[in-house]
Amino acid sequence: MTAAKPIVHVVDDDPSFLVAVTRLLRASGYLVRTFSSAEEFLKESTGVSPGCVLLDLQMPGLNGLELQEAIAKWEHPLPIVFLTGYGEVPTAVQAIRHGAEDFLAKRCSKEELFNAIDRALDRDARERTQRARRHEIRRLFNTLTPREREVLGHVVRGELNKQIAADLTLNERTVKLHRTAITTKLRVKSVAEVMQLLHEAGLIKDGQLLR
Amino acid sequence: MIAGLLGIHVAVVAPSALAANTDLVLILDQEGGGRPAHYAFLSGLRQALARNPGGKYELSTEHLDTDLYDKPGYRKTFTTQLNTKYRGRKLAAIIALDPNSLDYMLEVRPALWPQVPIIFTGLDEEAARRLAGQTNLTGVTIDIDPGSTLEAAIRLCPDARRIALVSSDQGSLFVYKELQAQAERFASTGFECIPLRGLTLAETKHRVAMLPVQTIVLYHSVRMEEGYQVLTQRDALAELSSVSRSPIFSCEDIFIGFGTVGGACVVYSGLGAEVAQRAVLAIRAGSAQSVPVIKSAQHRLIFDWREMQRWGLDDSRVPPASEVRFRPPTLWEEHRDAVLIALVALVLQTGLVIALLVQRFRALQTRRALREHREQLAHAGRISAVGQLASALTHELNQPLGAIRRNVEAAELFLQRDPPDYAEVRAIMADIFKDNLRAGEVIDRMRGLIKRRSPESNPLAMDEIAKEALRFVRAAAVVHKVGCELEIPSDLPMVQGDRVHVQQVLLNLMLNAMDAMKDTPPHDRRLLVSARLAERGAVEVAVSDSGPGIPGDKLPRLFEPFFTTKPSGLGLGLATSRTIVEALGGRIWAENRSCGGACFRFTLPIFRRSATR
C-alpha cells in the first residue's frame, strides 16, 4: 500500500548490456536499479518496495533460475522478466512455470521489453494490493475469539444455527450472537460476504476453514 | 744297347751321353747372334721344340758372317771348322735363316751332311719356288708386308701426304723390291714418296729430322757403317724416333716398343715356332722331302699405344683385328674381379639407394597424406567443438548485439528530446563501438577455430593460449555453472607448436571436463587448467575436473578413436587431441586425481630457437 514509484531491478553480469538497458529504461521514464550479480541483488533488495526484476538468465554464481527461486520465497516476490542471450526452450518453460512474467531475448525490441516490464509492474501492483487486502482480512480474522472461529468453521461448512448449537452444545441464540460478532468484526454485512473474504484471503480450502 | 752306351759315356763325358739321346739341330744365319730378330726367332723355336712331346733337341747356332768378313778363303775355312766341330755328331736337321745361309748349306750339305734335311726361312715365296729342284728341303716363307703397314699408317694418319721409306741396301733383296713396289703404288695414288735408302744412321737421322710434317716414315733398316756396328737396327730405330717429327711405322714386331707406331709385322718368335714345327716333322720322317714348304702365318697388325699417343693418333682408327700393345690396361682388364665385385656392389647399392629413395618418397607422400588427414580430422574436431560451444557462442554474440540494440533505442530517445542530449548520444556511440568490436572478436575467434589451415610451428606462451581457450568456454562454463581457474606461471618457457591446434586440445579437454561434471553439485564443479615445467625440455599442461573421475577399465581406451563414454559423443575428441599432441612432439595421458575427478595431461616441447623451421 505504498505510493512509491515502482523500481525496475536489472540484474546482469554483462556491464555493457547493463549500462545500455538501464540507459534506455531511464530515458523512457523508468526508475532503475542495477545489480551485476544475483548475489548482489539478494543482498540489497527485499522486495518491500514495488517493482519488477529484469533478470539475465546466465550468470556466474547464482543464475537467473536460482535467483527466481530465492525471490519466490519473499513475502512480496517481485515479478521477473527474464532476458537471455540464447533462449533454450526447456529453460524458458521452467522459468515461466515458476511464475516468470516473460522470457525475452536480449535482442528483443524495445516495445516487447517495455510491454513485459509494464505487465510485470502491473502485476506487482495488483499482487501488492491483493496481498494488502489479504493481510487486512487476516488481521480482522485474527480479532475473532476462538469460540467465534469455531462457530465460523461450522458456518463455512454450511451448517444451520441449530446444528452448530447442537455440535458446540450451545443454545441457538448464542450461535446467532457469535455470527453477528463475526460479521461486525470482519466489517461485512452478510455471511456470503464473509465467505468471499475468507476465500480472498485464502483461509478456506476444500470447504474447510484453515486454522 | 742304348742303355749300355749310356752307362759308359755318362761316366766319361756328359755331352756324348746327351748326343746319344738327342737330336742335334744346327742353325745357321748370316749376321750372328744378339740381333733382336735372331733372338726372338730362336726363343720361339726353342719354346716350340721344348713343348714338342717325344723329342729331345739340342741346338747349335753358327753364323756365316760373309757380309762383313767375306775374305778370300774364308768360306773354305768356315766349312772346315764346321766339319771339325761336328765330326762324330749326327745332325738331325739344319736350319738356314736367310738366303745366304741357305745357299751355303745347299752347297756344303752333299759333302758334310748328305742325309740331313734343311729347313729354310727368310725367303719369300718367289725365292722359295726357285728352290723346287732341291731335295730334302722344306721351309717357311715369309712375307714382309710394307703395303699393309702403309695402308694402316694412312688410315691412322689421314692427313699424311708423304711417305718416307727408310731402308739399307743390305740383306734380303726381296724386301727392297717390295718396298720399291709399294713406293710406286702409293706415289700413283698421290703420295709423295721419299726414298731414304742406303744411308748411314747419321745421314738418316739428319734426313728424318728434316722431313716435313704430314709424313709417314716406314722404317726397315739403315746402313750400318763402321763404328756403328755395335748398334742393332732396333737401336737405330730408337735413334731415329728421337729426332723424327713424323710417326714411324715398320714391319717387324721386334721394333715395337723402340719408337715405331707399328704396322703389319712379322712375328719372329712365331716364325721360330713354325720353323721348329717343320724341323720336327722332317726329323720324325728322317727327311724333309714329304714336309711341304709353308707360308708363315706369323704376321700381324701390331701397334704401340704409347707411340699413337705421342703422335696424337686416334687408336679407334687402327685396322680391325689389330693388336695394340702397351695400352694401359683398363680398370676392367686389370682388376676384373674387383671391378666386377665393385660393379655388383655399386648396382646393389644403387638399387638399395633407389629403393630407399622410393620408399622415402612414398613415406613422404604417406606422411603428407597423413598430415592432411590429421589436419582434416583436427578441423572436423574444431568444428565439432564450435558446435558444442554454439549456444555459448550465440550467447556471447547476443550479449553485445543486445546491448547495441538497447543503446540505439536509447539514442533515439535522447535525440528526440528538446534539446537533444548529444552528450549522452556520444557516450552511447562509444559504447556501441565497443560492443561492435566485442561481437567481432567473438566471430574472429570462432572463425580462427573453424578456418581450414595448415599447421604452423611457432613459439607459444601457454598462459595466453589457455586464457584464450578459457574465453571460448567462459559462456558455456556460466551455463554449466562450472568454476574455471587458471594456474599457469607467467615465467613458464614458451612451447613449440601450432596455436590453433594447442588451443583445440585445451578446448577439447575443457569441454570434456565440463561434460564430466554434469552430475556434480553445481558448487563443486571446478575446472582447473594448470601448467608446469616438466622434465626433458617440455611443458606439462593439466586440465583437471572435480567430476566422478574415469572408470578404471576405460582409462586405457580413452584415446582410441570412436571410443566414447557419452551417449551423443563421436569419440573423436580425445583421439584428435592425441594425434595433435603427438604430431607436435608431445604426449597425452589421463589419470584420476586422488582427491576425486579426472586429470588430463599433455606435454609440449619447449621452444628452441634452433627448432624453428
Residue of A20, A28, A105 lying closest to B407 (CB–CB): A20
Q: What band does B434 get if pLDDT is binned at 50, 70 and 90? A: very high
Would you say A10 and A33 are in contact if contact means Cβ atoms under 8 Å apart?
yes
CA distance A63 to chain B (A): 8
Cell of B504: 583445440
Q: CB distance from B471 to chain A under 8 Å? A: no
Last-in-domain residue among B141, B164, B193? B141
Chain A hits for B409, CB-CB cut-off 8 Å, are 24, 110
Whether A86 has a pLDDT exceeding 70, the answer reads: yes
pLDDT, average across residues B564-568: 69
Q: Are residues B522 and B560 in the same domain?
A: yes
Residue of B397, B399, B405 lying closest to A14 (CB–CB): B399
Whether B3 has a pLDDT exceeding 60, the answer reads: no
Residue of A59, A60, A106 lying closest to B402 (CB–CB): A106
Q: What is the pLDDT of residue B431?
A: 94
pLDDT, average across residues B137-157: 89
Q: Are residues B513 and B611 in the same domain?
A: yes
Whether A87 has a pLDDT exceeding 50, the answer reads: yes
Would you say B51 and B44 are in contact if contact means Cβ atoms under 8 Å apart?
no
Partner-chain contact A85 B398, CB within 8 Å: yes
Beta bridge partners of A204: A209
Task: Say how far apart CA B530 and CA B128 lie, in whole Å.
Answer: 117
Q: What band does B262 get if pLDDT is binned at 50, 70 and 90? A: very high
Partner-chain contact A20 B410, CB within 8 Å: yes
Provide the mean pLDDT of chain B: 85
Q: What is the pLDDT of residue B449?
A: 80
Partner-chain contact A23 B406, CB within 8 Å: yes
Strand order in B588-592's β-sheet? B483-487, B526-534, B538-545, B598-605, B588-592
Whether B66 has a pLDDT exceeding 80, the answer reads: no
Q: Of B57, B18, B114, whose CA–CA distance to B284 is shortest? A: B57
Domain assignment of residue B592, yes or no: yes
Q: Are residues B152 and B132 in the same domain?
A: no
Beta bridge partners of A33: A9
Partner-chain contact A84 B395, CB within 8 Å: yes
Q: Of B514, B508, B453, B444, whose CA–CA distance to B479 is shortest? A: B514
- The Cβ-side half-sphere exposure at B214, using a 13 Å CA radius, reads 7
Of the candidate ranges B5-9, B147-151, B586-590, the one whose mean pLDDT is the lowest:
B5-9
Q: What band does B5 get if pLDDT is binned at 50, 70 and 90? A: very low
Whether B517 has a pLDDT exceeding 60, the answer reads: yes
- Count of CB pairs separated by less than 8 Å, A with B: 86
Q: CB distance from B428 to chain A under 8 Å? A: yes
Cell of B56: 729331345
Q: CB distance from B486 to chain A under 8 Å? A: no
Whether B224 has a pLDDT exceeding 70, the answer reads: yes
* Cα nearest neighbour of A88 on chain B: B391
Which tops the pLDDT comparison, B227 or B486? B486
Q: Are residues B89 and B8 in the same domain?
A: yes
Whether B274 has a pLDDT exceeding 80, the answer reads: yes
Q: What is the pLDDT of residue B572?
A: 72
CA distance B420 to chain A (A): 12
- Hey, of A23, A82, A110, which one would you mutate to test binding to chain B, going by the most B CBs within 10 A of its CB? A23
Residue of B394, B414, B435 lying closest to A27 (CB–CB): B414
- Hey, of B394, B398, B438, which one would you mutate to test binding to chain A, going by the most A CBs within 10 A of its CB? B398
Q: How many CB atoms lie within 10 A of CB B368?
A: 10
Domain assignment of residue B412, yes or no: no
Partner-chain contact B478 A21, CB within 8 Å: no
Q: CB distance from A59 to chain B under 8 Å? A: yes
Q: Are residues B471 and B588 in the same domain?
A: yes
Q: CB distance from A89 to chain B under 8 Å? A: no
DSSP code for A52: E
Which tops the pLDDT comparison, B538 or B384? B538
Q: Are residues B562 and B526 in the same domain?
A: yes
Task: Say how far apart CA B107 and CA B96 lie, in whole Å.
Answer: 12
Q: Are residues B117 and B153 in the same domain?
A: no
Q: What is the pLDDT of residue B23?
A: 85
Cα B109 to its chain centre, rounded Å, is 66
Whether B96 has a pLDDT exceeding 60, the answer reads: yes
Task: Say how far apart CA B92 and CA B419 lie, in whole Å.
Answer: 158
Q: What is the pLDDT of residue B95?
A: 93
Q: Are residues B51 and B184 in the same domain?
A: no
- Hey, of A19, A24, A30, A63, which one would you mutate to test binding to chain B, going by the most B CBs within 10 A of its CB? A24
Domains (ranges, CATH) in chain A? 7-131 (3.40.50.2300), 143-209 (1.10.10.10)
pLDDT, average across residues A3-24: 90
Partner-chain contact A86 B398, CB within 8 Å: yes
User: What does each C-alpha distance from B255 to A65, A186, B169 come to in angstroms?
Assistant: 123, 162, 19
Whether B11 has a pLDDT exceeding 50, the answer reads: no
Note the pTM of the prediction, 2 decimals: 0.53
Q: What is the pLDDT of residue A1?
A: 43
Q: Are residues B120 and B166 in the same domain?
A: no
Q: CB distance from B533 to chain A under 8 Å? A: no
Q: Where are the alpha helices (DSSP H) in B389-461?
A: 390-416, 422-450
Residue of B401, B410, B435 lying closest to A27 (CB–CB): B410
Q: CB distance from B327 to chain A under 8 Å? A: no
Of the candidate ranges A177-191, B60-74, B521-535, the one whose mean pLDDT is the lowest:
B60-74
Task: Say how far apart CA B573 and CA B511 lie, in whole Å.
Answer: 10
Chain A hits for B406, CB-CB cut-off 8 Å, are 17, 20-21, 23-24, 110
- Hey, of B388, B394, B405, which one would you mutate to test binding to chain A, going by the most A CBs within 10 A of its CB? B405
Q: How many CB atoms lie within 10 A of CB B200?
A: 17
Give the percent of chain B with pLDDT over 70.
93
Domain assignment of residue B229, yes or no: yes
Whether B184 has a pLDDT exceeding 60, the answer reads: yes
* Cα nearest neighbour of A12 on chain B: B399
Q: Of A101, A39, A33, whose CA–CA distance to A70 is shortest? A: A39
- The Cβ-side half-sphere exposure at B277, using a 13 Å CA radius, reads 14
Q: CB distance from A192 to chain B under 8 Å? A: no
Partner-chain contact B402 A86, CB within 8 Å: no
pLDDT 10s digits, B73-88: 888 888 998 889 888 8
3-state secondary structure B245-281: CCCEEECEHHHECCCECEEEEECHHHHHHHHHHHHHH
Last-in-domain residue among B78, B112, B141? B141
Task: Please confirm whether the linkage preceding B493 is cis (ω < 30° from 0).
Answer: no
User: What does each C-alpha distance from B52 to A126, B57, B586 come to in angstroms?
Assistant: 150, 10, 87
Chain B hits for A28, CB-CB cut-off 8 Å, are 413
Q: What is the pLDDT of residue B427?
A: 93
3-state secondary structure A155-201: HHCCCCHHHHHHHCCCCHHHHHHHHHHHHHHCCCCCHHHHHHHHHHC
Beta bridge partners of A81: A54, A102
Domain assignment of residue B402, yes or no: no
Whether B30 has a pLDDT exceeding 90, the answer reads: no
Chain A hits for B476, CB-CB cut-off 8 Å, are none
Q: What is the pLDDT of residue B570?
A: 66
Q: Are residues B313 and B186 in the same domain?
A: yes
Beta bridge partners of B194: B164
Partner-chain contact A19 B403, CB within 8 Å: yes
Q: CB distance from A17 to chain B under 8 Å? A: yes
Q: What band does B228 get if pLDDT is binned at 50, 70 and 90? A: low
CATH code at position B307:
3.40.50.2300
Chain B hits for A16, CB-CB cut-off 8 Å, are 399-400, 403, 431, 434-435, 438
Domain assignment of residue B192, yes or no: yes
Provide the residue type at A46 as one letter: T
Of the candidate ranges B229-238, B385-394, B405-414, the one whose mean pLDDT is the lowest:
B385-394
pLDDT, average across residues A169-174: 87
pLDDT, average across residues B207-231: 83
pLDDT 10s digits, B98-130: 888 898 899 899 988 888 999 999 888 888 888
* Number of compact structural domains in chain B: 3
Q: What is the pLDDT of residue B171?
A: 64
* Cα nearest neighbour of A91 on chain B: B479
Domain assignment of residue B111, yes or no: yes
Last-in-domain residue among B141, B158, B185? B141
pLDDT, average across residues B590-610: 87
Which tops the pLDDT comparison, B261 or B228? B261
Domain assignment of residue B258, yes or no: yes
Q: Are residues B64 and B81 in the same domain?
A: yes
For strand B458-460 and strand B495-497, is the pairing parallel, antiparallel, or unpaired?
antiparallel
Task: Say how far apart CA A79 and CA A120 lie, in whole Å.
Answer: 5
Would you say B446 and B373 are in contact if contact means Cβ atoms under 8 Å apart?
no
Task: Say how far apart CA B522 and CA A83 lie, in whole Å.
Answer: 22
Partner-chain contact B434 A16, CB within 8 Å: yes
Q: CB distance from B482 to chain A under 8 Å? A: no
Task: Say how far apart CA B314 and CA B305 lie, in whole Å.
Answer: 10
- Hey, of B391, B406, B407, B415, which one would you mutate to test binding to chain A, going by the most A CBs within 10 A of its CB? B406
User: What does each C-alpha distance from B364 to A130, B85, B357, B368 come to in angstroms?
Assistant: 81, 94, 10, 6
Cell of A209: 476453514
Q: What is the pLDDT of residue B32?
A: 64
Q: What band does A111 get if pLDDT is binned at 50, 70 and 90? A: very high
CA distance A66 to chain B (A): 11
Domain that holds residue B229: 146-266+297-331
CA distance A58 to chain B (A): 6
Q: CB distance from B391 to chain A under 8 Å? A: yes
Q: Are residues B175 and B312 in the same domain?
A: yes
Q: What is the pLDDT of residue A34?
A: 95
Q: What band does B401 get if pLDDT is binned at 50, 70 and 90? A: very high
